[in-house]
């Protein structure tokens, strides 16, 4: 038999409401009464039911985390370790504050609204960019939501992100300073106002600053995974373009490309230079190490949790935007010309 609130109340000789007040700290209770209640809780090994709390107080201590599915039915949501690094960080910081996380690798849509209701989520962290209809729908949950890596400007949502255009600007500028002028750009699929599109803009801006013409045939677009990194490197080699360097808009693309070049007998950095974007854990352990733009992935998760919990504590909090810093990390994959 599960111990109930009533059992505790009976043992302590108080009303069930008093037990509630003591446990949720929402009213001041005399110290002697508090002590009696807490003794009864201990004696009966009483565990408050968080699901039941969720019913009455919007206090389920549960945070939903939405991760995009790159393809329907794709179960490799973690193939890009960017996601696992962010999630690991979110889980860690949420746990420090007594929250649990419910991860869904779902194309966030109406069924997610149902989930949020069903689970009485206290808040949601949404990673990545979704169709605009999604943002219209998600507002209906009326719960705090933090977007990570989104350029959605809706006042309803908080944002935690980096300046993506500045990041690829840094990467491209570095190659230009090393003397490269014929620079290919490997990028994930671009959508208007999305992260990948911004990274293209930064690439273009740096070229312009060095008076190098932007040429569309130097841009190679694919899914963001290792395999597409390999494919894009082959496409570049097949194109016959005289590129001496590549900016990859994600480390995972750069890593695949390094493999593709290696298999084709094209050496890095002797024959072609490459720079990534993210600084995944693995990137420093490659040979050669990948020169890249570091974003503090773990800090992104931490800031998202902090902002969400702040909004949960301050329901009237207005839209906040946190832009995290970027840093160029020099390793061995870029050659000075």
Q: Which residues bind its own copies (CB under 8 A)?
A: 47-52, 54-55, 60, 62, 75-79, 81, 83-85, 87-89, 91-93, 95, 100-106, 114-115, 117-120, 226, 229-230, 255-256, 258-259, 262, 281-282, 284-287, 289, 298
* 134's tokens: 């999604």
* 18's tokens: 């008093």
* Bridge partners (DSSP) listed for residue 147: 126, 159
DSSP E strands in the chain: the ranges are 62-66, 100-104, 123-127, 145-148, 158-162, 183-187, 219-221, 245-248, 273-278, 291-295, 321-324, 326-329
CA distances from 273 to 41, 84, 264 (A): 65, 28, 15
Cβ-defined contacts of 308-313 (< 8 Å, 24+) = 308/63, 308/123, 308/124, 308/125, 308/144, 308/145, 308/146, 308/158, 309/97, 309/99, 309/123, 311/123, 311/144, 311/146, 311/158, 312/122, 312/123, 312/144
CB 166 within 8 A of CB 326: yes
Question: Whole-number minimum distance, CB 43 to its own copies, in Å?
Answer: 16
In this structure, the strands spanning 123-127 and 62-66 are: parallel
Strand (E) or helix (H) holding 26: none
Question: Whole-number minimum distance, CB 192 to its own copies, in Å?
Answer: 29
* 53's tokens: 């709390």
Helices 5-12 & 31-44 angle (0-180, nearest 10): 120
Instruction: Specify the residue, 83 or 174, whose C-beta has the smaller distance to its own copies.
Output: 83
Instruction: Specify the residue, 203 or 226, whose C-beta has the smaller distance to its own copies.
Output: 226
Question: Whole-number minimum distance, CB 295 to its own copies, in Å?
Answer: 16
Question: Whole-number minimum distance, CB 212 to its own copies, in Å?
Answer: 30
Instruction: Specify the residue, 2 or 313, whose C-beta has the smaller distance to its own copies.
Output: 2
Instruction: Specify the residue, 33 or 81, whose C-beta has the smaller distance to its own copies.
Output: 81
Question: Whole-number minimum distance, CB 298 to its own copies, in Å?
Answer: 7
Instruction: Specify the residue, 13 or 48, whose C-beta has the smaller distance to its own copies.
Output: 48
Task: Give dist(CA 15, CA 13) in Å, integer.
Answer: 7
Instruction: Specify the residue, 60 or 273, whose C-beta has the smaller distance to its own copies.
Output: 60
Instruction: Specify the residue, 163 or 306, whose C-beta has the smaller distance to its own copies.
Output: 306
Question: Whole-number minimum distance, CB 7 to its own copies, in Å?
Answer: 15
Question: Whole-number minimum distance, CB 195 to its own copies, in Å?
Answer: 21
């Amino acid at each position: 038999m599960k111990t109930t609130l009533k059992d505790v109340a009976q043992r302590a000789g108080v009303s069930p409401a008093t037990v509630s007040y003591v446990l949720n700290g929402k009213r001041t209770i005399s110290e002697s009464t508090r002590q009696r209640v807490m003794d009864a809780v201990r004696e009966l090994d009483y565990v408050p039911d968080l699901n039941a709390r969720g019913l009455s107080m919007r206090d389920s201590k549960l945070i939903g985390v939405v991760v995009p599915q790159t393809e329907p039915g794709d179960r490799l949501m973690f193939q890009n370790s960017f996601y696992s690094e962010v999630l690991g960080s979110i889980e860690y910081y949420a746990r420090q504050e007594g929250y649990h996380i419910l991860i869904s690798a779902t194309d966030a849509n109406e069924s997610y609204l149902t989930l949020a209701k069903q689970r009485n989520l206290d808040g949601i962290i949404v990673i990545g960019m979704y169709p605009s209809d999604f943002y219209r729908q998600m507002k209906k949950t009326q719960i705090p939501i933090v977007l990570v890596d989104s350029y959605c400007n809706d006042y309803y949502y908080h944002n935690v992100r980096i300046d993506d255009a500045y990041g690829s600007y840094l990467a491209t500028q570095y190659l230009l300073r090393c003397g490269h002028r014929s620079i290919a750009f490997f990028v994930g699929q671009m959508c208007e106002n999305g992260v990948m599109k911004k990274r293209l803009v930064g690439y273009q801006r740096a070229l312009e600053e060095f008076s190098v013409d932007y040429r569309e045939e130097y841009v190679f677009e694919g899914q963001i995974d290792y395999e597409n990194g390999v494919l894009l490197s082959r496409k570049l080699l097949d194109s016959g373009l005289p590129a001496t360097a590549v900016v990859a808009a994600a480390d995972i693309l750069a890593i695949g490309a390094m493999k593709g070049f290696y298999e084709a007998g094209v050496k890095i950095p002797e024959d072609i230079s490459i720079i990534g974007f993210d600084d995944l854990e693995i990137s420093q352990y490659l040979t050669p190490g990948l020169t890249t733009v570091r974003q503090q992935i773990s800090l992104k998760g931490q800031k998202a949790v902090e902002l969400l919990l702040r909004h949960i504590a301050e329901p009237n909090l207005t839209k906040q935007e946190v832009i995290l810093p970027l840093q160029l990390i020099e390793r061995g994959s870029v050659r000075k010309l």
